[in-house]
Chain A
Amino acid sequence: MPALLTVRNLTIRFGGITALNDVSFDVAEGHITGLIGPNGAGKTTCFNCITRLYQPTSGEVLFKGEDLLRCVPQQIAGKRIARTFQNVALFDHMSVLENALVGYHTRFPVGLAAWGAETAATREAMDVLDRLGLAGIANRPAHGLPFGLRKNVELARALMVRPELLLLDEPAAGLSHDEVTALGDTIKRIARDFSTTVLMVEHHMALVMRISDHIVVLASGKTLADGPPDAVRANPAVIEAYLGAV
């Protein structure tokens, strides 16, 4: 599989702290790639560099060969890259449907073509909400929803981008055992149905090992290991730094 995303020699420093130190990895098109590591390893920082919320000190982030570091943050969704957030970041005073529709923002036609686009966007949003079991609460405000539903709303918003690359930041955090099992199936189904490549930061090792095609391990801002789940699981350095007995 060709690489959809290539991270090369990515380094970012915050004052005297080096959050990412010469990190490199590829995300193959059509794969689910897990990005794992202990707290403070630099996983979310890596996401924030890819989505341009952070400006790396050096390195390259290539998406389909295009250097994303030349883009401003609001251009990233237009490249068909969507993300979720570690701390669920919804538009709390907007409805579930409106949250999903914000994901359509970059696909909204301009000029005369915008006439009638709202109807089409709403229809598509309702379809995505329905796939995630949210159609029944489409008109409810996002604030006050249970945590699991809020995560699903975030996922629906990301899917409205029709992403070629979907970045999931700890999608299983705060979910029950049954919900995590269902989440794994959902992610696999989404990757298939939406033909999207997934890069997933996650601490839930059982989930990562079950659904990932490839795993990248970060530790203290460096790439510790990179390979298929079985190889990563057996890697002594990974076991020592992070996994323990999985």
Chain B
Amino acid sequence: MPRPNAGLLTRVAIAVAVIAILPWVVPSFLVFDLIYVAAYTIAILGLIILTGMNGQISLGHGAFMALGGYVVAVLAHSAGWPYWIGVPLAAIASGVAGLLIGLVALRLAGVYLALATFSLAVATPSFLKHYKSITGGFDGMSLQPVQAPAGVPLGGQQWLYYVAWAVAGVVFLLSALLVRGQFGRALRALRDNPIAAVSFGVNPYFYKTAAFGWSAVLAGIAGGFYAIPTAYVSPDTFTFALSITLLIGAVLGGISTFWGALVGGIVVEFLPLVAQQINAAAPGVVYGVALILVMMFLPDGIVGGLLRLTYRFRRAPPQPALESSTPSAAPVTVGPQSRE
């Protein structure tokens, strides 16, 4: 198995150190935002594996986040179960749903898959409103705010921050281990050239479904951490716009590397806030213009742009991140071989 290089370990160490220090140096309202960044980062990581590495476009990951968020909320609200049980169960529930959707997705590709998953995201709020005896309907459900365990000298919000980022670290590590070596190669081979991949023994049913399942597991966990900070969930927490936001985050951050998830999480959380400050009357316009500019000048995302900048600075080829040689463009699909 390939070993992580020294540069990668240094970058990881810096990221961990910054994340550890932040709650002590930023205002408390920013700690709240940074918990959301953790949730977005986990969900976007799932999209990077599914879309960036495997070429399956999902516009419905907000639905998996909703499932995760509601599993945590229903278990806490109705059964009084603690969050530390709810979040793993949310991951399992979402993962099972992802596997099932992944089986359906085997018959779809490209824009057809995107539209099918988008319909999932559109239907989810209506579904949540309909089954009000379980979900609380329009009114949603209130939850208990998080408290730090006895003896831990942290506020509830700070405690949640560290838990969320610790979980993010664990899922990053697990994902990195998963996609390195044979499994990751199979995912990328199916993305680059499905016919050649199948001809060399890669089972598309297994790998594509597994990718969908794992990305849904991550979305389910993210949904849990999306619901807990406000101690409240409602159908409006998980609108279809959330699914679009996740894809925007993956593309802006850089869909070719795991670091894109972290950068994408930061961008989708803070870009709307910055846009609001720049022009309170039309934040959507500022947000849109920013998106267009990034796509024009950084087509492979912010991380891709930084890598190119590093290349120019060092006059050396850019180093791949956790996984290597993933494309920044749309997946390549090769049709059936010509007959003669």
Contacts and interface: CB of A to CB of B under 8 A. Distances in A.
Contacts of A19: 339
B185 A101 contact: yes
Please classify how large the interface on chain B is, using the bins under 10, 10 to 19, 20 to 34, 35 or more. 20 to 34
B148 interface: no
A105 B201 contact: yes
A118 B2 contact: yes
Contacts of B334: 89
Nearest to B202: A105
From A41, A51, A77, A105, residue with most partner B Cβ within 10 Å: A105
Contact of B340 (A40, A53, A74, A118): A40
Contacts of A103: 200
Contacts, number: 112
Interface in A114-139: 114, 117-119
Given A44-B337, A118-B2, A94 B182 contact: no
B199 A45 contact: no
B181 interface: yes
A76 interface: yes
Nearest to A89: B196
A222 interface: no
A161 interface: yes
A91 B192 CA distance: 5
A119 B1 CA distance: 6
B283 interface: no
A102 B197 contact: yes
From B181, B326, B337, B339, residue with most partner A Cβ within 10 Å: B339
B337 A77 contact: no
A74 B297 CA distance: 41
Interface in A1-55: 14, 19, 39-45, 48, 51, 53
A95 interface: yes
A217 to B, nearest CB: 14
25 contacts: A14-B339, A39-B340, A40-B339, A42-B339, A43-B340, A74-B201, A74-B202, A78-B201, A85-B337, A87-B337, A89-B193, A89-B196, A89-B334, A90-B192, A91-B189, A91-B196, A91-B197, A93-B327, A93-B332, A94-B189, A105-B182, A105-B185, A105-B201, A105-B202, A117-B182
Kindly list the 9 A-B residue pairs having the minimum CB-CB distance in the complex, ordered from nearest: A106-B201, A77-B201, A91-B192, A89-B196, A93-B327, A118-B1, A105-B201, A73-B198, A74-B203
Interface of B: 1-2, 181-182, 185-186, 188-189, 191-193, 195-204, 324-327, 332, 334, 336-340
